[in-house]
């Protein structure tokens, strides 16, 4: 399909255009494109880049003159209406979007493209068009579909998703499948929990009620997911794999960030205690939870969770596996620490250490009430997950913000020492 035809933008014409897009992965490279399919009103284009082949979804508006600059379909109201109609017709869809009265692309995104749609019913819907495609269901889609279908208002109400298949010679049956787009309720004007927490911590305002409610809301999400999606016991192979990953990340961190080295033995001891401790049943989780992934909606709704894609650097197949809910809890605990760390690096220094400690404690109290369980029986495992996250953060800050390295490094030292004292 590389030859130009009437109304068809050629692959060669597309190469110069795609290299300038924010979502193009091989920045600075020269695209080598092959259209492998046209499905569900969009083109699927394989880029044989030097860094490895990448499959892109490229909706180019038909009718463009041959050789002319391509027009991205997401900017064309007619194309967006066609996409919405296909989402409505997909078997997974939960509620109709219907006729659109207007649409506009949300600025600022890099890896995907989101389109805000005004509908004839008066509702506003955000449609996310996935640019880089992988075989397998997107956990952001399947997790939120499951929560919304179960009646949860802890996520934006899901309208539906568009699933498709395409040729893939690397697979045994020659076919791959995955999600092309996802539509859900648009919640304009809401602040995320990170901004709210920063403002309140800077002002010295107590976060006891907010943190407790956040813990209860996360527990509610976990309870719903445990009934809506499959669970499985934490067998020895899964436990061994999780602990091995922690050790491997620690080894890499010690090589890249020497400040970790004095704590390595103490951290390893925490991991070993976690390995022989009691593990809860594995289930679907958020996977990359922090305060920026939660919106503050007005009462009575309260906290709303976003972006269930999991850790972006993990393979898609791993991100859909059942995991330990304590990974989400640990991520939120680290985020409270970062509120205090960010304010300590503010132009106007604010000591929010006590604020963060209180928020952590009340968040755990709320989560404990919401689950009805005893977190203390899993304390070694929670410490291990929080340490693993802090070790990752040390490497990230060493690479990107060396002045901030002390924030996660202090957590590494504190957690390792506290766990040792508990023995």
Structure tokens at 421: 């004292």
> What confidence score (pLDDT) does residue 4 get?
42
Q: In whole angstroms, give the CA distance from residue 405 to residue 253.
A: 12
Contacts for 414 with CB less than 8 Å, ≥ 6 apart? none
Sketch out the chain's domains with CATH numbers: 1-188 (3.30.200.20), 193-422 (3.90.1200.10)
Q: In whole angstroms, give the CA distance from residue 22 to residue 110.
A: 5
Q: In whole angstroms, give the CA distance from residue 225 to residue 215.
A: 15
Q: Locate tokens 């340490």: which residue?
A: 387
Give long-range contacts, CB 8 A cutoff, 24+ apart: 114-122: 115/74, 115/80, 116/186, 117/80, 117/84, 117/183, 117/186
Residue 204 CB-density burial (10 A; 0-12 exposed, 13-18 middle, 19+ buried): exposed
* Predicted confidence pLDDT, tens digits, the chain (423 residues): 334 443 568 898 899 899 999 999 888 888 999 999 998 789 999 999 888 899 999 998 865 455 567 889 999 999 999 999 999 999 999 999 999 999 999 987 778 999 999 999 999 999 999 999 999 999 999 999 999 999 999 999 999 999 999 999 889 999 999 999 999 999 999 999 999 999 999 999 999 999 999 999 999 999 999 999 999 999 999 999 999 999 999 999 999 999 999 999 999 999 999 999 999 999 999 999 999 999 999 999 999 999 999 887 778 888 889 999 999 999 999 999 999 999 999 989 999 999 999 999 999 999 999 999 889 899 999 999 999 999 999 999 999 999 999 999 999 999 988 766 665
> What confidence score (pLDDT) does residue 422 get?
62
Contacts for 241 with CB less than 8 Å, ≥ 6 apart? none
> What confidence score (pLDDT) does residue 67 get?
54
Contacts for 244 with CB less than 8 Å, ≥ 6 apart? none
The 3-class SS string of the chain reads CCCCECCECCHHHHHHHHCCCCCCCCCCCCCCEEEEEEECCEEEEEEEECCEEEEEEECECCCCCCCCCCCEHHHCHHHHHHHHHHHHHCCCCCCCCCCEEEEEECCCCCCEEEEEEEECCCCEEEEEEECEECCECCHHHHHHHHHHHCCCCCCCCEEEEEEEEEECCCCCCCEEEEEEEEEEECCCCCCEHHHHHHHHHHHCCCCHHHHHHHHHHHHHHHHHHHHHCCCECCCHHHHHHHHHHHHHHHHHHHHHCHHHHHHHHHHHHHHHHHHCCCCCCEECCCCCCCHHHEEECCCCCCEEECCCCCCCCCCHHHHCCCECCHHHHHHHHHHHHHHHHHHHCCCCCCCCHHHHHHHHHHHHHHHHHHHCCCHHHHHHHHHHHHHHHHHHHHHHHHHHCHHHCHHHHHHHHHHHHHHHHHC
């Amino acid at each position: 399909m590389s030859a130009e035809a009437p109304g068809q933008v050629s692959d060669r014409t597309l190469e110069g255009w795609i290299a300038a897009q924010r979502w193009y992965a091989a920045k600075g490279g020269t695209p080598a494109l092959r259209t492998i399919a046209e499905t569900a009103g969009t083109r699927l284009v394989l880029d044989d880049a030097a860094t490895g082949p990448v499959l892109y979804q490229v909706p180019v508006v038909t009718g463009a003159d041959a050789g002319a600059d391509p027009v991205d379909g997401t900017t064309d109201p007619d194309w967006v209406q066609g996409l919405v109609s296909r989402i409505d017709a997909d078997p997974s869809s939960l509620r109709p979007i219907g006729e659109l009265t207007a649409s506009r692309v949300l600025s600022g995104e890099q890896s995907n493209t989101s389109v805000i749609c005004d509908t004839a019913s008066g509702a506003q819907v955000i449609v996310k068009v996935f640019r880089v495609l992988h075989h397998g269901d997107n956990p952001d889609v399947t997790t939120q579909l499951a929560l919304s279908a179960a009646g949860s208002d802890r996520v934006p109400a899901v309208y539906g998703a568009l699933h498709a298949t395409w040729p893939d010679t690397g697979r045994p049956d020659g076919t791959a499948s995955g999600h092309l787009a996802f539509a859900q309720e648009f919640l304009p004007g809401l602040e995320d929990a990170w901004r709210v927490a920063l403002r309140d911590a800077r002002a010295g305002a107590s976060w006891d009620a907010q943190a407790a409610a956040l813990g209860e809301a996360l527990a509610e999400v976990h309870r719903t997911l445990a009934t809506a999606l499959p669970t499985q016991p934490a067998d020895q192979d899964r436990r061994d794999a999780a602990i091995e990953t922690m050790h491997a990340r620690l080894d890499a961190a010690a090589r890249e960030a020497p400040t970790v080295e004095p704590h390595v033995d103490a951290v390893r001891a925490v991991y070993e205690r976690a390995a022989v401790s009691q593990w809860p049943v594995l289930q679907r989780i958020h996977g990359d939870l922090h305060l920026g992934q939660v919106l503050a909606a007005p009462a009575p709704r309260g906290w709303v969770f976003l972006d269930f894609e999991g850790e972006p650097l993990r393979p898609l197949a791993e991100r859909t596996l059942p995991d330990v809910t304590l990974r989400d809890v640990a991520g939120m605990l680290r985020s409270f620490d970062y509120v205090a760390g960010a304010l300590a690096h503010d132009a106007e220094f604010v000591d929010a250490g006590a604020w963060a400690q209180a928020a952590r404690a009340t968040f755990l109290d709320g989560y404990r009430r919401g689950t009805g369980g005893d977190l203390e029986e899993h304390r070694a495992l929670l410490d291990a997950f929080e340490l693993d996250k802090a070790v990752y953060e040390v490497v990230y800050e060493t690479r990107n913000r060396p002045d901030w390295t002390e924030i996660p490094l202090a957590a590494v030292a504190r957690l390792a020492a506290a766990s040792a004292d508990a023995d």
